[in-house]
Amino acid sequence: MSSALTFEEALSLTSEPLAVFDSDANLRLVNPAFRNALRQFEGVLSPSTPWSVILSEAVRREHLTEIDASNLRMIEERLLDRPDNQPEVMVQLADGRPARATLTRTTGDGFALAFRPQIGKETPDESELEEIMSIVLQACPTCLTMSRIGDGQILYRSPAARELLGKGFNSLAHFADRTERGDFLADLLPTTRVDGMRITASGADGREFPAAISARLIEYRGEDVIVASIDDLTDRLAAEAEIERQEKQLFQLEKMSALGEVLSGIAHELNNPLSVVVGNAHLLLEEDISDDLRTRIEKMTGAAERCVRIVRAFLSMARNRPLDPESCAVEKIIQTATDAFSSSDVSTGIEVSVNVPSDLPDVSVDEVQIVQVLVNILTNAAQAMAASKIDGQIAIKAFRNNANLRIELSDNGPGVPPAIVDYIFDPLFTTKDVGDGTGLGLALCHRIVVAHGGLLELVDQPNAGATFAIELPFS
Ligand SMILES: Nc1ncnc2c1ncn2[C@@H]1O[C@H](COP(=O)(O)OP(=O)(O)OP(=O)(O)O)[C@@H](O)[C@H]1O
Ligand SMILES: [Mg+2]
């Protein structure tokens, strides 16, 4: 019995993936390590498969890049002349590890292809791990805390957490509202996880801010511990609110222009027939008629005249009076408006306070139209306050808001009910009794302000009277 190993047996003993090619560059044999490490080549590793076929198949199956394949091809071509010092090509083994591919000349002008997996330490030992963890945590931009569930004692916090939440040693203080911590624990305990729960957090300087908390409940040294991250949502929510505000403005603008167009078309059509009704009704009144008939005709004329007023108001609104802008002092515009308001009956008993900083620059506006806007808003406020029998107060504040002049008019009336806030700027929307209002005031104001490149909005302030804000660009 011979004890000599065959070449094939010898190859199968080595754990290094090896393939041997003959002098015609056809595959002679591969060892089991090769088959195992390059399972992805299964099917092309049968004896006599040409080297070139193996390479092109590897490229086709995306295990080798074109460049790597052409490098290997080139190395093989040069093997005969330059058996040493061949460059290496990095490839990826079936298990994902990178490996260096090398070609070595064999006797008989064949060659061997070997793969040397890059051996990196896959798992760092404990002390290295600790070091890595501490480096990662120190650099971690996330607000991370680890605290005992029982007493809230903080066991660890990242630098970002110290910055956002302060240096206190109890995580209970991170909740501005204790009941929210109760809700948080109620979610965390049964499932051991909470993701993105909205809370009001309490920050380093006592500042309360909207936040999202995500957490995992883990065991650490025999105790239940919460690992939590807290995100400050202040900026994100402010940005979302601003986008929502702008979308509302845009929607309002589109709605107004569509509605305005339809209504002014109708008003136009009604104008002539209405004049016929009113004219003939007046002629009838001049006839010798019974008192009963007279009363009826007078009612008819009254109603028809009201229609005429609405139609005229519409037409003047639709006519889009051209702007006649000139530079005006803010204080003067407001003064003119409050004077006009004070001279009307509706202002009786209402106290108007004005606060305009003396250093506000002038604005370029059509003064008559902007005064009309202010008077309309003041009149609405007075009517709302009169309806609810309140000692009326209106505060007018003007200030700079970035590139705009902002004028806020606040009353202490009943405020605008939430159910109608989306409609108050619509033409013809009114909550007043028939004859008291046409519902055109705010629609007209909106149109004028938008024509100035500005905006008119109802400021959201539940349960606190109504505040309307006008913004006009300074230049
Ligand atoms: N300051 C305010 N407080 C409470 N509600 C208001 C206030 N201003 C306006 N509103 C509401 O908005 C509606 C629309 O106002 P708008 O000025 O467009 O029409 P109007 O005052 O009803 O009629 P018009 O102005 O044509 O006489 C009002 O009917 C009222 O319900
Ligand atoms: Mg009005």
Residue 467 Cβ contacting ligand 1 at under 6 Å: no
Residue 451 lies in a domain: yes
> How far apart are alpha carbons 21 and 105 in whole angstroms?
9
Single-letter residue type at 188: L
Residue 282 lies in a domain: yes
> How far apart are alpha carbons 341 and 371 in whole angstroms?
10
Which ligand has its closest atom nearest to the C-alpha of 415?
Answer: 1
> How far apart are alpha carbons 9 and 160 in whole angstroms?
61
Residue 205 lies in a domain: yes
326 and 473, same domain (yes or no): yes
Q: pLDDT value at position 113?
A: 86
> How far apart are alpha carbons 82 and 67 in whole angstroms?
21
109 and 190, same domain (yes or no): no
258 and 357, same domain (yes or no): no
- The CATH number assigned to the domain holding 37 equals 3.30.450.20
Which ligand has its closest atom nearest to the C-alpha of 431?
Answer: 1
> How far apart are alpha carbons 165 and 97 in whole angstroms?
43
Q: pLDDT value at position 318?
A: 66
> Which of these, 134, 161, 136, lies nearest to 146 by C-alpha position?
161
CB-CB neighbours of 152 under 10 Å: 17
**Ligand 1 atom with the shortest distance to the CA of 377:** 8
Single-letter residue type at 419: A
Q: Which residue segment(s) compose the domain that 180 sits in?
A: 133-233
pLDDT per residue rounded down to tens, the chain (475 residues): 555 677 788 788 888 888 899 988 899 888 888 888 877 777 788 889 999 888 888 888 877 778 878 888 888 888 777 666 666 777 777 677 778 888 888 877 888 888 887 765 555 677 778 888 878 888 888 899 999 998 899 998 999 999 999 888 899 999 999 899 999 999 999 999 999 999 999 998 889 999 999 999 999 988 899 999 999 999 999 999 999 988 988 888 888 778 777 877 888 888 888 889 999 999 999 999 999 999 999 999 988 888 888 888 777 766 667 788 999 999 999 999 999 999 888 898 899 999 999 999 999 999 989 999 999 999 999 999 887 777 899 999 999 999 999 999 999 999 999 999 999 998 889 998 877 788 889 998 998 999 999 999 999 777 789 999 999 999 7
298 and 360, same domain (yes or no): no
380 and 408, same domain (yes or no): yes
Residue 12 Cβ contacting ligand 1 at under 6 Å: no
- The CATH number assigned to the domain holding 293 equals 1.10.287.130
Q: pLDDT value at position 11?
A: 80
Residue 126 lies in a domain: no
Residue 416 Cβ contacting ligand 1 at under 6 Å: yes
CA-nearest residue, atom 28 of ligand 1: 430
Of all residues in the chain, what percent are helix, strand and coil, respectively (each to 5)?
A: 45, 25, 30
Q: pLDDT value at position 213?
A: 96
Where a domain ends, among 64, 89, 117? 117
- The CATH number assigned to the domain holding 373 equals 3.30.565.10
348 and 450, same domain (yes or no): yes
Residue 125 lies in a domain: no
144 and 259, same domain (yes or no): no
64 and 199, same domain (yes or no): no
Residue 221 lies in a domain: yes
475 and 347, same domain (yes or no): yes
457 and 341, same domain (yes or no): yes
458 and 328, same domain (yes or no): yes
Residue 432 Cβ contacting ligand 1 at under 6 Å: yes
Which ligand has its closest atom nearest to the C-alpha of 424?
Answer: 1
Q: pLDDT value at position 3?
A: 59
Residue 241 lies in a domain: no
Tell how strand 326-328 and strand 223-232 pair up. unpaired
> How far apart are alpha carbons 105 and 78 in whole angstroms?
10
Angle at which helix 367-387 crosses helix 330-342, to 10 degrees, equals 50
Residue 240 lies in a domain: no
Where a domain ends, among 264, 290, 319? 319
How many structural domains does the chain have? 4
Containing H/E element for 405? strand 404-411
Where a domain ends, among 285, 319, 353? 319
110 and 37, same domain (yes or no): yes
Q: Which residues contact 410 (CB under 8 A, 6 or more apart)?
A: 394, 395, 397, 465, 466, 467
